[in-house]
Amino acid sequence: MAEINTKVTLCGITLDNPVIPASGTFGFGYEFAEIYDINVLGTFSFKGTTKDPRFGNPTPRIAECTAGMINAVGLQNPGVEKVISVELPKLKKCFNKPVMANVSGFSIEEYAYTCEKIDKEEQVGWIEVNVSCPNVHGGGMAFGTSPEGAASVVRAVKAVTTKPIIVKLSPNVTDIVAIAKACEEAGADGISLINTMLGMRIDLNKRTPVIANKMGGFSGPAIFPVAVRMVYQVSHAVKIPVIGMGGVSSAEDVIEMMMAGATAVEVGAANLINPFACRDIINDLPRVMEKYKINSLEEIIGGCK
């Protein structure tokens, strides 16, 4: 067998492998850098950043589900100024590759403001614009649920940035393909999907929602088939690269996502139950590639017949 090649190119930047911890499950990297060398990652998408500091939603913010979990954190982050002055210098000490900045907002102006600031940071390779957070009202997902709303964010952000803009889409929509196409037409350089699915659990003893915010984003292996389907649909409808995510937990899942059409793959909830999940997936990739007779991961992108 020829030498195994796990490299992929995402919007002009080559990754050693397609594995990317998803925003909100990996902080700014340093909690994980305490337990393994995070430079083994393709890159990672750091904690969703907004213009102003946010505490997020009241607790409880977490609920157990069959093969998954619900979270309603609500974009807790120190705000873009502190991210730049405090978090990124700490991140730089443990990660020497381009990092993916994840940005959210409550108005088009906020998205543009935060992206423009983050765009100037040397280590930022891509900006993942989250128009799909289900846990905040009056923002986030509101922009990602219509083609016009998503496109208007993309246009505003593209006008003030130089780095590749990847738009993170919500699955909580009727037609994700139309939204992805609108983003592409508005100038997006890539699409990432899927954000969490809106879900809810009820405490039978208390007869109240488990989550203080009532509803939250459902993630984990249970949503993997939905994610594969949407990645397949979107990647066949747009020419820009697609990052697949949603319940990815193994090297086999990574390959399945890529066959569906993903150029790279984000891993979310799995990091929370196994802090070594991404390292383990990366270590396992060559074995699984050999099993399915794959020499180069780039060759299998969209390879599902």
Partner 1 sequence: MKQEVLEILSNIALNKNVYKMVLKGDTTAVTNCGQFVNIQIEGMYLRRPISVCDYTDNTLTLVYKVVGKGTSAMANMKSGTKLDVLLGLGNGYDLSKAGDKPLLVGGGVGVPPLYNLAKKLRGEGKAVTVILGFNTKDEIFYEDEFKELGCDVTVTTVDGSYGVKGFVTNAMPEAYTHFYTCGPEPMLKALYNATNTSGQFSFEERMGCGFGACMGCSCKTIAGYKRICKDGPVLFKEEILWQK
Footprint on this chain of partner 1 (rule: CB under 8 A): 24-27, 31-32, 34-35, 47, 55-56, 58-69, 71, 73, 76, 210, 220-221, 269, 271-276
Measured CA to CA, the distance from residue 165 to residue 114 in angstroms comes to 13
Looking at beta carbons only, is 55 or 292 nearer to partner 1? 55
Chain-centre distance of CA 207, in angstroms? Answer: 33
Looking at beta carbons only, is 132 or 235 nearer to partner 1? 132
Q: What is the dihedral of CA 303, 195, 111, 154, to 10 degrees?
A: 30
Looking at beta carbons only, is 59 or 96 nearer to partner 1? 59
Measured CA to CA, the distance from residue 18 to residue 192 in angstroms comes to 13
Least distance to partner 1, CB of residue 260, Å: 23
Least distance to partner 1, CB of residue 128, Å: 18
Q: What is the dihedral of CA 290, 292, 295, 296, to 10 degrees?
A: -120
Looking at beta carbons only, is 85 or 162 nearer to partner 1? 85
Measured CA to CA, the distance from residue 77 to residue 75 in angstroms comes to 6
Looking at beta carbons only, is 114 or 249 nearer to partner 1? 249
Measured CA to CA, the distance from residue 282 to residue 263 in angstroms comes to 15
Measured CA to CA, the distance from residue 146 to residue 127 in angstroms comes to 21
Least distance to partner 1, CB of residue 140, Å: 15
133 given a catalytic annotation: yes
- φ, ψ at 198 (rounded to 5°): -65, 125
Looking at beta carbons only, is 57 or 263 nearer to partner 1? 57
Measured CA to CA, the distance from residue 48 to residue 282 in angstroms comes to 24
Least distance to partner 1, CB of residue 266, Å: 14
User: H or E segment at 260?
Assistant: helix 251-260
Partner residues linked to 9 by β-bridges: 14
Least distance to partner 1, CB of residue 62, Å: 4
Q: Of residues 11, 65, 115, 133, which has the active-site annotation?
A: 133
Least distance to partner 1, CB of residue 9, Å: 28
Q: What DSSP assignment string belongs to 54-103?
A: B--SPSP-EEEETTEEEE-----B--HHHIIIIIHHHHHHH--S-EEEEE
Query: What letter represents residue 252's amino acid?
Result: E
Residue 198 CB: number of other CB atoms within 10 A? 16
Catalytic residue numbers, as ranges: 133
